[in-house]
Structure 1
Amino acid sequence: MGPTDRPGVVCLCGSLRFQNLFESERRRLTALGKIVLAPEAIDEELTSARREALGELHLRRIDASDEVRVVSEGGYLGSATRREIAYARETGKTISSTDPDLDL
């Protein structure tokens, strides 16, 4: 890798109910030499304002990425993940998924 090259940046999106899948995908992508950005579980009760702020923070992760990887099983997509996918499309990001049942 030359001095101006940088590894690809992948932002993981999806429900944190799939925490184990997030962790395995983070490890897999890191082993491939990718920089991985992902949401983190917060140990506090979230107010609607705090939830909104964290949602905006995640959109900034998408802005900083080259690719969005949707973490899901069984075709599940929550409303926040749907919003993130729409935002990734609007900003021209490559979108892929861990779930072959998802039609992205």
Structure 2
Amino acid sequence: MSYPRPLTPEERLADAKKLLRLPRIVAICGSTRFMAEMTEAELRETEAGRIVVKPGCDLKSPHALWSDPAEAEALKPRLDELHRAKIRLADEVLVVGDYIGDSTRAEIAYARSLGKPVRFTHPEVDPEANPDVTRNRVAPE
């Protein structure tokens, strides 16, 4: 006698999104040097009827929450894990900016490992399509 395979957490999440009739969810990724462009992308995606999740903290901009270098250092891995959770929640990823650094490259690889579609505001920096072009675009993140 054969039993149905239990659903994976990802399948259960997809089913819940359908039951709730949620719009498509887009995770915005990219260097925080492109925060203004991320905000513009968020506006466009929202206007198109999509739910948007994006980085919520820019550690490169001064703020009391990370003014102490030790606090900032401790916060970075927590923010990275939070952003990976946003990628898991999303239906697709939108990479913003004309430069891909190591952190963004890892987020793209993570999204693709989960089978998430990845779009780019600048397709020429897609590391899968152009592995050599992205390495020397701008100074590292």
Q: Gaps (5+ residues) in structure 1? A: none
CA shift digits 1:16-73 (9 cap, x unpaired) = 1011110110000000000000002252245333101110000000010000000112
In structure 1, the partner of 2:35 is 19
Relative contact order (alpha carbons < 8 A, sep ≥ 6): 1 or 2 greater? 1
1 or 2, which has the higher strand percentage?
A: 1
**Structure 2 equivalent of residue 99 of structure 1:** 122
The answer as to 2:104 corresponding to 1:88 is no
Q: Which residue of 2 aligns with 1:52?
A: 77
Aligned counterparts of 2:73 and 2:19: Cα–Cα separation in 1 = 43
Kindly report the root-mean-square deviation, in angstroms, between the aligned alpha carbons of the 2 structures.
Answer: 1.8
Q: Distance in 2 between matches of 1:58 and 1:6?
A: 20
More helix by share: 2
Quote the residue 1:78 is aligned against.
Answer: 101
Which segment is superposed worse, 7-16 or 40-49?
40-49
Structure 2: unaligned runs, 5 residues or longer: 1-17, 129-141
User: Where does residue 10 of structure 1 map in the other structure?
Assistant: 26
SS of residue paired to 2:125: coil
CA distance in 2, matches of 1:56, 1:4: 26
2:81 counterpart letter in structure 1? E
SS at match of 1:40: coil
Matched, 1:63 2:88: yes
Q: Which has the larger radius of gyration?
A: 2
Matched, 1:32 2:57: no
Using structure 2 for the length normalisation, give the TM-score: 0.66
